[in-house]
Amino acid sequence: MKRSLFFLLVLLCPYCQAQLFNPVTWDFKAKATSPTEAVLTFQAKISRHWHIYSQHLADGGPVATSFVFNPSKEYTLVGKVEEKSNVVKGFDKTFQMDISWFENQALFTQKIKLTGNKATVSGKLEFMACDDERCLPPEEVAFDIPVQRLSEPVAAVTPTKPAKDSIPQVSQSLVSDSMTIGSKSASVDTAQAYELPVIQANESPKPEEESLWVTFVAGLLGGLAAIFMPCIFPLLPMTVSFFTKQAESRSSGIRNALLYGLSIIVIYVSLGLLITVLFGADALNNLSTNGLFNFAFFLLLVVFAASFLGAFELMLPSSWANKMDQKADQGGLLGIFFMATTLSLVSFSCTGPIIGTLLVQAAAQGALLGPAIGMFGFALALALPFTLFSLFPSALKSLPKSGGWLNSVKVTLGILELALALKFLSNVDLAYHWQWFDREVFLVLWIILFAILGFYLLGKLRFAHDSALVSLSVPRFFLAVISLSFSLYMVPGLWGAPLKAIAAFLPPQQTQDFDLYSASLAGNSGSAPVFHEKHKYSDLFHAPLGLNAYFDYDEALAEARKTGKPLLIDFTGHACVNCRKMEATVWPDPAVLTTIRENYILLQLYVDDKTELAPAEQTVINGKEIKTIGKKWSTLQTTRFQANSQPYYVLLDPITEKPRVNPQGANYDIAEFLTFLHAGISKP
């Protein structure tokens, strides 16, 4: 019951994001109090506005903090875990009950009795962190606490499993020395790992706030497209006729139509919520950057596209629709709901690819509520025509007749599905540095796809289920012009043109093999690239616009201190569309580009890169293994700056290692971004 209520709380939170920083860090210590006894201390440091819950909660409430100790012959527990911090009590409106929680910090202690000279107390604790607007999923933290019969306290840390014989030291500016106890190296926890002060921005980046709106609009557009599919459009007059003829009165007909539309919304939103619950926050957190997920999405969208192009039909078992249809015959409110369910099942061959694409895109955005919000937009657009035409049946006369044009809608969407699939394949290529899918390869494929779409709309190409095009309608003509024009618009991109309108979807400019544009910005007359001194990781990453960028914090910091220039830290990602848009639309501005080049040491940290760190740089922080470049920098961003979206710009003073101005995310207003850069120069 507690888990169900927790998921409901998270799903109803309008601002929840899958990629949230960890607002709670734990520190573990052990202190011997006598030759045979010791006290274990579990201290939680809780970020401002957040809280965790007491151990003593009634059933049906949030997840209480709990401790589990592994059995051992080295010690025995004396009593239970005690709460030493001041607890806050109050009535929680969400759970409708009195609840106790901790703010700022929480301190728990457990007495143990030693059976020998030393012991290692291992186990795990579980807690749930919430603020006034959102809750994070319950989190488990493992601990191994060494205890000795000495009077002095023995520091302990938080490993998730026995470490290797030696976990070497990580970058000194970021992580303190690994703590060695006995013959094994222990991990460091987040509170100890980052010596720099925690910085929290005043407001979240704008793109993150808008992500759910973008998903909702995408759902609306998908729902509108679904209406004009061969599986749905012909059902409009049939459904409206049923409601108008079966209704006992005008008011009952209106009621039934509204209930039918509401049922459609409930069905599809429930599907979105189910996806969220099944995947959970942790899985959604990995969707946008995980190579396997992105490659699976690519294959899935190709299958959807093939279905729309007529290769096969995606069909659900016919028995499902038959059972729903039988239940719909029962009539009443339940019968109307089953009518809507029958529509959803019967139309799956047309709506399935649209729904699948929408769920993939919503999940990859990282927003926890993305799938549910996307499905709400889709269902709203799909339900409105059935409801409105049932209320105003005379308007049906204005609808076009069914015909071959409905299949043209499917084919058009199939080609667009293929174009979208290439974006996911590009994400995988970039994250793993395959270098098979550079910018010009991506552009060539898009140019061909949209040219094919244009010729198809003109009737020059036909697919399996298309009928002969006798005449060209005005809408087809305009759509063909748009598609062919877009195809021609992309052609200059093969020589490096920035293509600002679609820059967010293209691979980075620096993957272009023949780039006249970046060379011209760097002041070269020819196409030769600008050569800079080789930096760490420069064989993996390449700065945009010919800039001299660093890709390692320590190296960039040393250069900044040497030159006296502040650091411009760009937390970016291979799969970050807003990063590409900033680099293509804002950074090329002469004033912005000159300011970055002459006044800053540019440091680009890729948070989603899958390249493994050298063995000497791998470690464990707060129970999480840091094995890749992306994990190292994403941990730095979430732990120190309490931010998790990209791009995220920090103007860092090289001496104090503190931001000179408040960090910010993407800002497509050139003047405002330039003001931000100038503020970092003027403030020491």
In Å, what is the CA distance from 534 to each residue of 78, 537, 540, 543?
60, 9, 11, 12
Strands 51-53 and 88-92: unpaired
* pLDDT at position 296: 79
User: Cβ(567)–Cβ(560) under 8 Å?
Assistant: yes
Token pair listed for 310: 């007529």
Residues of the chain with pLDDT under 50: 1-20, 151-209, 280-285, 524-530
Residues pairing with 373 in the sheet: none
Sheet arrangement for strand 129-130: 88-92, 97-103, 51-53, 129-130
User: Cβ(126)–Cβ(159) under 8 Å?
Assistant: no
* pLDDT at position 524: 42
Of residues 312, 221, 219, the one with CA closest to residue 271: 219
* pLDDT at position 405: 78
User: Cβ(611)–Cβ(574) under 8 Å?
Assistant: no
* Longest CA–CA separation in the chain, Å: 97
pLDDT for 617-657, tens place per residue? 888 776 677 888 888 998 888 888 877 778 899 999 999 88
* pLDDT at position 620: 78
* pLDDT at position 199: 45
In angstroms, the first-to-last Cα distance of the chain is 54
* pLDDT at position 363: 60
Q: Which residue has the tokens 């938080």?
A: 158
Residues pairing with 463 in the sheet: none
What's the CATH number of domain 2-156, 3.40.50.1100, 2.60.40.1250, 2.70.70.10, 3.30.9.10?
Answer: 2.60.40.1250
Of residues 658, 634, 648, 646, the one with CA closest to residue 21: 634
Q: Taking the CA atoms of the chain, what radius of gyration do you get in angstroms?
A: 29
Length of the chain, in residues: 684
- Domain extents for the chain? 2-156, 211-406, 501-607+646-682
- Exposure b/e, 70-95, CB count within 10 A at least 16 = b: eeeeebebeeebebebeeeeeeeeeb
* pLDDT at position 304: 83
Looking at domain 501-607+646-682, its CATH superfamily turns out to be Glutaredoxin (3.40.30.10)
Token pair listed for 119: 């012991």
Helix segments in 392-497, DSSP class H? 405-431, 439-457, 474-490
Is 501-607+646-682 in the same CATH topology as 2-156?
no
For 83-129, the DSSP string reads E-SPPEEEEETTTTEEEEEEESEEEEEEEEEESSSEEEEEEEEEE-E
Helix segments in 491-576, DSSP class H? 516-521, 553-563
461 DSSP 8-state letter: -
pTM of the model as a whole: 0.52
* Helix (H/G/I), strand (E/B), else coil: 145: strand
168 DSSP 8-state letter: P
- Exposure b/e, 236-262, CB count within 10 A at least 16 = b: beebbeebbeebeeeeebeebbebbbb
For helices 670-682 and 590-599, give the axis angle rounded to 10 degrees. 20
* pLDDT at position 571: 93
